[in-house]
């Protein structure tokens, strides 16, 4: 019996999708920029997403905003915003992915969010 393999994207595509989602939601209400909403929109599991978000914040591609709200488990609710350098990084990664599509390394659908 063959086991079903879970779809996996590479790092560049995952980071691109996170940055693209946050760019699109920049002017929307802040609840759209919570980890739970980002997780659903980009199709990345929470543990993996947390690692990427923390790294992007540490390198100042994203910034965190907290209004003192707490979630059901007592954890602090954090909202994420993309910075100007994050937008530049998104563009650079997007060009790299486009090159991969043009060269046949990526299928066209890698470039878009699951919600597109």
Q: What is the SS3 assignment for 57?
A: helix
Closest CA to 88 of 9, 16, 33: 16
40/45 Cα distance (integer angstroms): 9
Q: Is residue 37 part of a domain?
A: yes
Q: What is the SS3 assignment for 38?
A: helix
Whether the pTM exceeds 0.85: the reply is: no
Count of domains for the chain: 1
Structure confidence by residue, pLDDT tens digits, 46-105: 899 999 999 999 999 999 987 777 767 777 778 899 999 999 999 999 999 889 889 988
Q: Is residue 89 part of a domain?
A: yes
Query: What is the 8-class DSSP label of residue 2?
Result: P
Determine contact, residues 20/101, Cβ cutoff 8 Å: no
Domain that holds residue 91: 12-102
Structure confidence by residue, pLDDT tens digits, 10-24: 788 889 989 999 998
Q: Is residue 20 part of a domain?
A: yes
List the CATH number of the domain containing 44: 1.10.10.10
Q: Is residue 4 part of a domain?
A: no
């Amino acid at each position: 019996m063959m086991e079903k393999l879970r779809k996996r994207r590479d790092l560049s595509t995952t980071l691109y999708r996170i940055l693209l989602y946050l760019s699109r939601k920049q002017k929307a209400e802040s609840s759209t920029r919570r980890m739970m909403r980002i997780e659903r929109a980009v199709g990345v599991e929470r543990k993996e997403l947390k690692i990427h978000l923390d790294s992007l914040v540490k390198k100042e591609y994203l910034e965190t905003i907290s209004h003192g709200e707490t979630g059901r488990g007592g954890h602090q609710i954090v909202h994420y915003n993309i910075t100007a350098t994050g937008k530049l990084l998104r563009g650079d990664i997007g060009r790299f992915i486009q090159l991969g599509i043009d060269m046949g390394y990526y299928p066209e659908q890698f470039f878009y969010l699951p919600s597109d």
